[in-house]
Amino acid sequence: MKSKELSELIFEGVVTLTIVYLLYMGMLMILARLVSAPPVLLRQMPSLRSVVLIVDAFMSIYRDIFQWIAAIFAGVFTWWRLARRYKQMQLGHILDELHYIAAGNFDYRIDANNSGSYVDVVNSINTLVESTVEAMEEERKIEQSKDELITNVSHDIRTPLTSIIGYLGLIEAGQFETNEEATRYIHIAYTKALQMKVLVDDLFEYTRVRQPTTPLLLKTINLGHFLEQVAADYELESRKRNVEIEVFLKTDPLMVEVDVDKIARVFNNLISNALKYGHGATWIHIEAEKIGSEVVIAVKNNGERIPSKALEEVFGRFYRVENSRSKETGGTGLGLAIAQSIVALHGGYIYAESDEKETKFVLHLPLEQKGKKEEKANA
């Protein structure tokens, strides 16, 4: 409390006590007057007059007690007034502090310990400030991540675009010796253009599946058959890399309701990742089993482990472990970010684990899409 406030309180106390004292004295004087020179009205009402006389007699016998009662009353009344005033002051402080926070000092919190009876209010305010600051922080992060997205996309588009312009420029300027050389330049430009298209398509898909309202084209499928089919598409490539792909079904048959194209995209990415980045792997195992009301599917490989620090990041867009190495394989780094969003659209989740023995990506998917039934009917 400031000294100004303390003197204000003292002044208020003195004023209150004086008022109570004057009231008390006034009351005594009125009583004495009613006894010594009663007004006409009182003289006409003998019963009322006797009451006045009794009160007067009573007061002169028990004067001490009455004085005590008056003193106690004065004390309680003053205390009550001061407490009210003090509370007002506390509220004033809280308001001042709130203005201070609102002025941009978002790290500041009102001290609940000094808030007396306003502890609950202050705690609620602090919680509110906390959640508002968090929301602002979240907003800032989103804004920042949008900027990053634009930077990454610009960068990833600029690299192939520079090549395209370079090679087409050579052709336009006639800087080639033979037709074969020109064809080679065109081929490089064409490949780079295709690479750009993959990036743009992925980016489009990524922003699409990021929307929680994206509709799913749901169908109930036999998961075993589906996984076998997806794995079969990689037969040639896996044979080339000396990797064996196998599907293990712990529950058979296993029926799940999914958007087939989207889920196929998830597994295509997981398997192609295992082939591309699971350096030294000799097998890729796809294991599926029903647990309760969900299906758990793991895509494992026994290749080089993903460092634990990178493990937290692999689902982030554009993230590639050891950038340069992965760059050669031509990925955009959007695959797992898209996979994560697709799994989330199905009400499931995905995570990765990796150790010396194996690297695995594990998906949890609900067997049925209960909440999304209507969408399907409307589709």
Residues that bind ligand ATP (CB under 6 A): 202, 269, 273-274, 277-278, 301, 303, 306, 314, 319-321, 326, 331-337, 359
User: Which entry of Mg ion, ligand ATP, none binds 306, CB below 5 to 8 A by partner kind?
Assistant: ligand ATP
Looking at the Cβ atoms of 101 and 245, the one nearer to Mg ion is: 245
Nearest-angstrom CA–CA distance, 379 and 363? 26
- The two structure tokens encoding residue 340: 């994560």
Nearest-angstrom CA–CA distance, 108 and 96? 12
Annotate each residue in 255-274 with x if it binds Mg ion (CB under 5 A) or - if it does not, as one string. Answer: --------------x---x-
Looking at the Cβ atoms of 230 and 274, the one nearer to ligand ATP is: 274
Contacts with Mg ion by CB under 5 A: the residue count is 4
Looking at the Cβ atoms of 118 and 277, the one nearer to ligand ATP is: 277
Region binding Mg ion by CB under 5 A among candidate stretches 229-237, 254-262, 322-330, 335-343? 335-343
Q: Which amino acid is at 167?
A: Y
* Alpha helices for the chain (secondary structure H): 3-36, 40-44, 46-61, 63-102, 119-172, 179-210, 223-232, 235-240, 260-277, 308-311, 323-328, 335-345, 373-378
Looking at the Cβ atoms of 178 and 324, the one nearer to ligand ATP is: 324
Give me the residues paired with residue 122 across strands: none
Nearest-angstrom CA–CA distance, 156 and 115? 56
At closest approach, how far in Å is the CB of 233 from ligand ATP?
Answer: 15
- The two structure tokens encoding residue 208: 């699409």
User: Which entry of Mg ion, ligand ATP, none binds 348, CB below 5 to 8 A by partner kind?
Assistant: none
How many CA within 13 A on the CB side of residue 81? 18
Looking at the Cβ atoms of 332 and 369, the one nearer to ligand ATP is: 332
Nearest-angstrom CA–CA distance, 131 and 151? 30
Distances (CA, A) of 323 to 93, 310, 317: 55, 11, 13
User: Which entry of ligand ATP, Mg ion, none binds 283, CB below 5 to 8 A by partner kind?
Assistant: none
Region binding Mg ion by CB under 5 A among candidate stretches 110-118, 156-164, 196-204, 334-342? 334-342
Looking at the Cβ atoms of 226 and 267, the one nearer to ligand ATP is: 267
Residue 335 near Mg ion by CB under 5 A: yes
Q: Residue numbers of the site for Mg ion (CB under 5 A)?
A: 269, 273, 331, 335
